[in-house]
Amino acid sequence: MSEEPDRWWPFISSGGSRMDFKNFSLNISQTKVNRFVDELSAGKFMATVCKKCGKNYYPPLADCSNCMQSDMEWKQISGEGTLVTFTKIHVPPEHFAVRQPLMPFSSIQFEPCPIGLLEVEGGLKIMGWIPKGDVKKIKVGMKMKASPFTLPDGKVTIILEPI
């Protein structure tokens, strides 16, 4: 097990061309899926659909892993759905407010740090942080809404909130 539990936690750059890790970043362009980050930054969740076999993907893929085709179509999906599972992280990553008050998540209180998986239309699943509120009130099966959340440093994350 790593001594740095958050070192693999990626952030999505609002520019769409940078993947940051704690001590590692890639300055490469993901030209086929840049639209995902652009739309997420604008408040929209986008998926891709294979035009050949009809398989849906979220997060979007540039190529279909089902039939190996590259003819993909973009579609907007709803951020509303049902919480299918969640967990609580009791040792938060270093960039969380409880560990570093001046870091990007300092405007959100996560203690412990719940993270959930929301099933939306077509069986697609969106993962996000569940900020604020009483952790004891989080229940599998509850209706929630996923929303993009721009951090002070311009990076985008996803939060889940009850509806």
14-45 pLDDT, tens per residue?
444 444 444 444 444 556 778 888 899 899 99
Exposure pattern of 51-73 as b/e (b: 16+ CB <10 Å)?
eeeebbbbbbbeebeeeeeeebe
Q: How many CB atoms lie within 10 A of CB 31?
A: 10
How would residue 99 be classed by pLDDT, with cut points 50, 70 and 90?
A: very low
Reported pTM: 0.70
| Model confidence pLDDT, tens digit, residues 131-141 | 876 778 899 99
Query: CA neighbours within 13 Å on the CB side: how many for 146?
Result: 28
